[in-house]
C-alpha cells in the first residue's frame, strides 16, 4: 500500500510539471472506490493550479474546484507527454495540454473525487478526522505526548489509526518505534514524555528519509516518472522476521497487531 512518503514522492514528481496545465479531456475506466462526483466533461477547460498533499490524499487545485486523488492499495500515477492507450488497469486519465496523468490501479481501492472546494462535503468527509501532518510544523512533541496519554491501545495501532498523526503506515510505524526503542505493544498511554519525544523525532526522521530516498519499493512503488524508490533496502526491522537485528544481533520478531504484521527487536525495544 502506498504510504505517505510514496504519495509525497509521487506529488513532487509531477506537481511542478502539471501546474498551469489545461484539462482537455477526462477518461474513466472501471469504477474506483468512490465515484468522480461530477461529469467528466465538467472538468474540461479547467486549469490545474497546484498539487498539494494532505495525509495520503493528493489535492489538485483547479481554477474551479479541487480533485482529490487517493492511491488506495495498489494505485500509482504516471504523468507523461503521451501515454499508450489505457490498459485494463488504467481507470483514470486526465488529458491536459502538458501531458496525460494516468491512475493505474489493479485493485481499484484508489479514487479520484471532485469537490467544489476543500470545505465542500465531498472533500470534507474524506479529509476530516485526519491527524496532524508528521512532516509539518504543526506536529509538536509535547502535544503528541498529550494525545498519546489519552489512548489505551498499543502505540503501534494508535500510530496507524491516523487521528493523532496522519500517514504513519505499517512500514514506517515499525521503523519509527525501532528507532525510538519502544515495544509496539506498549499502551500509548504509558509512553513517557522523553520516549514520546524520541518517537516524535523518529517518525519525522524515518518519513523524511523515505521521501528523500524516493519512497519504498515494497509494493512495486514507482513515482509518476516511473522511477522506483529503495527505502526497503535500509529497513531496520520491517520485513526482517527471523533475521538478526542490525544493532544488537537479536532475532527480529514478527507478531500480528490488528490485521497487520508488526516487526520488532525484543532487546532494542523496551515495553
Ligand atoms: Zn536489537
pLDDT tens digits along 143-177: 999 999 999 999 999 999 999 999 898 989 999 99
The pLDDT of residue 175: 95
Catalytic residue from among 11, 56, 98, 102: 56
Is 230 or 68 the better-scoring residue by pLDDT? 68
Question: Residue 32 in contact with residue 105, Cβ under 8 Å?
Answer: yes
Q: Give backbone dihedrals phi and psi of 46, rounded to 5 degrees, phi first.
A: -70, 155
For the chain, the farthest-separated pair of C-alpha atoms sits apart, in whole angstroms, at 59
* Interior angle at CA 16, CA 132 and CA 117, nearest 5: 50
Q: What is the distance in A from the centroid of ligand 1 to the CA of 247?
A: 5
Instruction: Give percent helix, percent strand, percent coil of the chain, each to the nearest 5.
Output: 30, 25, 45
* 230 has pLDDT over 50: no
The mean pLDDT of 220-245, rounded to a whole number, is: 71
The residue from 12, 204, 219, 260 that is catalytic is: 260
Output the CA 269–ligand 1 centroid distance in Å: 7
Please say whether the beta carbons of 174 and 206 come within 8 A: no
Find the 185 Cα to ligand 1 centroid distance in Å.
16
The CA 58 to ligand 1 mean position distance, Å, reads: 36
pLDDT at residue 177, rounded to an integer: 98
Q: In this structure, which residues have their CB less than 5 angstroms from ion ligand 1?
A: 245, 247-248, 250, 265, 267-268
**Strand partners of residue 53:** 58
Tell the residue number behind the cell numbers 519525522, with chain if given.
Answer: 204
The pLDDT of residue 232 is: 52
Q: Is 190 a catalytic residue?
A: no
| Grid-cell match 471532485, residue found | 114
Report the pLDDT averaged over residues 179-203: 98
For residue 84, pLDDT over 80 is answered with yes
Alpha helices in the chain (DSSP H): 4-18, 40-43, 121-127, 141-149, 155-161, 170-180, 193-213
pLDDT at 1: 76
Mean pLDDT (whole number) for 87-115: 96
Q: Looking at 2, 134, 154, 184, which residue is catalytic? A: 2
Q: Is 111:33 a contact under the CB 8 Å cutoff?
A: yes
Catalytic, 137? Answer no
| 56: annotated active-site residue | yes
Mean pLDDT of the residues in the chain: 92
CA 87 to chain centre: 25
Give yes or no for residue 218 having a pLDDT over 60.
no
pLDDT at position 268, please? 98
Q: Evaluate if residue 219 carries a pLDDT over 50.
A: no
From the list 246, 260, 55, the residue with the least C-alpha distance to 154 is: 260
For 68-107, letters b (16+ CB in 10 Å) and e give: bbbbbebbbbbbeeebeebeebbbbbbbbebbbbbbbbbe
The predicted pLDDT at position 196 comes to: 98
What pLDDT score was predicted for residue 43? 97
CA–CA distance, 174 with 151 (Å, rounded to integer): 18
Active site residue 270: no
- Is residue 221's pLDDT more than 80? no
Amino acid at each position: 500500500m502506498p504510504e505517505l512518503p510514496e504519495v509525497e514522492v509521487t506529488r513532487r514528481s509531477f506537481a511542478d510539471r502539471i501546474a498551469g496545465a489545461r484539462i482537455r479531456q477526462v477518461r474513466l475506466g472501471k469504477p474506483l472506490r468512490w465515484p468522480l462526483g461530477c461529469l467528466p466533461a465538467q472538468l474540461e477547460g479547467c486549469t490545474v493550479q497546484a498539487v498539494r498533499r494532505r495525509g495520503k490524499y493528493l489535492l489538485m487545485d483547479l481554477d474551479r474546484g479541487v480533485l482529490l486523488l487517493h492511491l488506495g492499495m495498489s494505485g500509482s500515477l504516471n504523468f507523461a507527454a503521451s501515454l499508450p492507450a489505457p490498459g485494463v488497469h488504467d481507470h483514470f486519465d486526465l488529458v491536459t495540454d502538458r501531458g496525460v496523468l494516468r491512475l493505474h490501479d489493479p485493485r481499484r481501492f484508489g479514487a479520484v473525487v471532485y469537490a467544489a472546494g476543500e470545505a465542500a462535503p465531498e472533500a470534507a468527509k474524506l479529509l476530516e478526522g485526519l491527524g496532524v501532518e508528521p512532516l509539518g510544523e504543526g506536529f509538536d512533541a509535547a502535544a503528541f505526548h498529550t494525545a498519546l496519554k489519552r489512548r489505551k491501545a498499543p502505540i503501534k495501532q494508535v500510530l496507524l489509526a491516523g487521528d493523532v498523526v496522519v500517514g504513519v503506515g505499517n512500514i514506517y510505524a515499525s521503523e519509527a518505534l525501532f528507532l525510538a526503542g519502544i515495544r509496539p505493544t506498549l499502551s500509548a498511554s504509558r509512553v513517557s514524555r522523553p520516549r514520546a519525544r524520541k518517537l516524535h523525532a523518529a517518525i519525522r526522521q524515518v518519513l523524511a528519509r523515505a521521501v528523500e530516498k524516493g519512497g519504498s519499493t515494497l509494493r512495486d512503488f514507482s513515482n509518476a516518472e516511473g522511477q522506483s524508490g529503495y527505502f526497503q533496502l535500509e529497513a531496520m526491522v520491517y520485513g526482517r522476521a527471523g533475521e538478526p537485528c542490525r544493532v544488537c544481533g537479536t532475532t527480529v520478531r514478527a507478531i500480528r497487531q490488528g490485521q497487520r504484521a508488526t516487526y520488532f527487536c525484543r532487546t532494542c525495544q523496551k515495553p
